[in-house]
Amino acid sequence: RKEVEQDPGPFNVPEGATVAFNCTYSNSASQSFFWYRQDCRKEPKLLMSVYSSGNEDGRFTAQLNRASQYISLLIRDSKLSDSATYLCVSRSNDYKLSFGAGTTVTVRA
């Protein structure tokens, strides 16, 4: 079983819409979680960290539910530039990261 599982999508949404998606993790010892963004054929880049209390970064809101072992990302007021693949990432107690396969979001005009 993969350590991090994601719905691959794609999620096709109009500009201005809100889109939300989750990922689940299997290792209860995972200590921290992140969302990375990957544009088509480009390298992944850190989008934001995920905290138990929930955190916002502009139009992006991330949430962690340790009891149910899932992480969510919500994008408000979607822009065309938000079209990308979003990678859910977990980290245990060393310097390695475990990446999900990604959720693809396409924002249409």
Partner 1 sequence: DAEITQSPRHKITETGRQVTLACHQTWNHNNMFWYRQDLGHGLRLIHYSYGVHDTNKGEVSDGYSVSRSNTEDLPLTLESAASSQTSVYFCASSTNRLAWEQFFGPGTRLTVL
Residue ranges in contact with partner 1 by CB under 8 A:
8, 32, 34, 41-46, 49, 87, 89, 91, 95-97, 99-102
Round to whole Å and give the CA distance between 97 and 14: 32
Asked if the peptide bond before residue 44 counts as cis, ω within 30 degrees of 0, the response is no
Min separation Cβ 62 and partner 1, Å: 13
Min separation Cβ 88 and partner 1, Å: 9
Among residues 78 and 85, whose Cβ is nearest to partner 1?
85
Among residues 17 and 97, whose Cβ is nearest to partner 1?
97
Among residues 21 and 34, whose Cβ is nearest to partner 1?
34
Residue pair 64/57 in contact by the 8 Å Cβ criterion: no
Min separation Cβ 18 and partner 1, Å: 25
Which strands make up the sheet holding 4-6, listed edge to edge?
A: 4-6, 19-25, 70-75, 60-65, 55-57
